[in-house]
Amino acid sequence: MADLDDQKRLEELARKYLKGIISPAEQLEFDRWFADQAAQPAPSETDLTESKHRDELLNRIHAEAGIRTIHRLWPRIAVAASVILAISAGGYFLLHQSQPAQQVVEIKKQDIEPGRNRATLTLANGQQIVLIKGLNGKLAQQGNATISVNAGQAIAYEATAAKNSTVEYNTLTTVRGEQSPYPLVLADGTKAWLNAASSITFPTAFNGKDRVVKITGEVYFEVAHNEKLPFKVEARGQIIEDIGTTFNVNAYADEPATKTTLISGIIKINNKLLKPGQEGTGDNVQIKNVDTEGATAWKNGYFLFDDESLESILRKVSRWYDVEIIYPNGRKITDGFLGSINRYSKVSQVLALLEETGHVRFKIDGKKIKVTNK
């Protein structure tokens, strides 16, 4: 049992390291483990057999607890000499040391740049304004609302409309391969950030009994709370009501279900109450505790995979790099991946790190990425 406890402790330290939340004492413990293993001889056949038995036991315990073991990026912790910490391209994963060198070469024959900071604002009259970094000053007048970019930091609506005046609706949109260059500040002070292939439709002023916006894709909100004027988000089967909060909504049509992750404050989703650190999934709102960092990583400029299936990871890659993912053999890898990488890396760098596991290969063909199992 001591060996099992050691493995669980090492996995815990690795997760903390990858998420950047490891303490100095834990970092020292982690470093000492790698230093100790580097000084040991290669494992014998008997060691490998014992390791296999330990792995099977660990997998069985995880399965009974409902935890999906991370095979791909956490291979055989007990065979320590075969595990290295690889740091490259601004990202890091736990990888297996033995892999064919030609894997990386194949995907580097072609490459794809990451997405860009750009969005399109469509006014009520159909006029479109392309938003990029570096804009400043007044952009347009929409009824009694002035639209401007404040010091290149945010696109802001300042409403001077009197009550009962006509309210017009605008839409901010990103396509695949785009992310909003700065937050949208609504007339009430609420901020919204858009991920790739997303949109938010909103009024130029809030003059009714509540504040309602509609979104598609993925949007991160920092809501300006007003208990007399509830803020609501309509998103693919969910109605999210703010009770003073910061939250992320993932409502992509190609995802299994809409997920709303609460960062701070309190929200209601379809009348079910969520607290910070909880996530509500689907129309019937299944609530569970989560690490919120995974939901907000895109906004902070990186990918974070924590026991995430390859299919889920590649959906993110597809949207951000504007590529088509093809599985020629029809078989998809569902085991969990653990790792992090800068969102502004080229696609070959992301794929190379996934290939290092030795269980999957990629081939870039124009704007298509072909996936095969090894």
Same domain, yes or no, for 79 and 135? no
Residue 7 DSSP one-character state: H
Are 285 and 350 found together in one domain? no
> What token pair was written down for 15?
């997760």
**CB half-sphere exposure, 78, CA atoms < 13 A:** 20
Compute the average pLDDT of residues 39-62.
Answer: 48
In this predicted structure, the answer to whether residue 301 has a pLDDT above a threshold of 60 is: yes
Do 107 and 368 form a contact (C-beta atoms < 8 A)? no
Q: Which of 241, 270, 296 is the last residue of a domain?
A: 296
Domain harbouring 268, CATH code: 2.60.120.1440
User: Where does residue 247 rank: exposed (0-12), middle (13-18), buried (19+ CB within 10 A)?
Assistant: buried
- Do 129 and 247 share a structural domain? yes
| pLDDT surpasses 90 at 162 | no
The domain boundary residue, chosen from 296, 313, 331: 296
Question: What pLDDT score was predicted for residue 167?
Answer: 80
Q: Is the pLDDT of residue 211 over 50?
A: yes
Q: Both 321 and 252 in a single domain?
A: no
Are 122 and 190 within one domain?
yes
pTM of the model: 0.74
Statement to judge: residues 199 and 336 lie in one domain:
no
CA nearest to 84, candidates 351, 46, 3, 75: 75
Average pLDDT for residues 101-118, to the nearest whole number? 68
Same domain, 213 and 248: yes
CATH number for the domain that contains residue 37: 3.55.50.30
Residue 69: per-residue pLDDT: 35
Mean per-residue pLDDT for 130-152? 88
Domain span at 16: 1-112+302-374
Same domain, 126 and 197: yes
Crossing angle (nearest 10°) for helices 2-19 and 24-38: 120
Least confident of 204-213, 295-304, 350-359: 350-359
The answer on 256 and 138 residing in a single domain is yes
Q: Give the pLDDT band of residue 45 (cuts 50, 70, 90).
A: low
Is it the case that residue 63 has pLDDT exceeding 60? no
Q: Is the pLDDT of residue 245 over 60?
A: yes
Q: How many domains does the chain have?
A: 2
Listed residues 246, 268, 296: the one ending a domain:
296
In this structure, the answer to whether residues 96 and 198 fall within a common structural domain is no
Residues 121 and 255 in one domain: yes
DSSP symbol at 95: E
Domain identity same for 122 and 268: yes
Check if the beta carbon of residue 35 is closer than 8 Å to that of residue 12.
no
For residue 55, name the pLDDT band (cuts at 50, 70, 90). very low
Nearest to 235 by CA among 247, 219, 222: 219
3-state secondary structure the chain: CHHHHHHHHHHHHHHHHHHCCCCHHHHHHHHHHHHHHHCCCCCCHHHHHHHHHHHHHHHHHHHHCCCCCCCCCCCCCCCHHHEEEEEECCEEEEEECCCCCHHHHHHCCCCCCCCEEEEEEECCCCCEEEEECCCCEEEEEECCEEEEEECCCEEEEEECCCCCCCCCEEEEEECCCEECCCCEECCCCCEEEECCCEEEEEECCCCCCCEEEEEEEEEEEECCCCCCCCEEEEECCEEEEEEEEEEEEEECCCCCCCEEEEEEEEEEECCEEECCCEEEECCCCEEEECCCHHHHCCCCCEEEEEEECHHHHHHHHHHHHCCEEECCCCCCCCCCEEEEEECCCCHHHHHHHHHCCCCEEEEEECCEEEEEEC
Please, is 122 exposed, middle or buried when counting C-beta atoms within 10 Å of its C-beta (0-12, 13-18, 19+)?
middle
